[in-house]
Structure 1
Amino acid sequence: MGVDWALSESSILRAEYIYDDFNNSDFDINDGNLNPHFDTDINTSTVRAAIIWNFGGLGDL
Structure 2
Amino acid sequence: MIKFKVVVAGAKNVGKTSLLRRFATGKFEKSTLSTIGVDFETKKLIVDDTEILLNIWDFAGEL
Q: Which has the higher helix share?
A: 2
Greater C-alpha Rg: 1
TM-score of the superposed pair, with normalisation by structure 2: 0.34
Greater relative contact order (Cα 8 A, min sep 6): structure 1 or 2? Answer: 2
Q: Which has the higher strand share?
A: 1
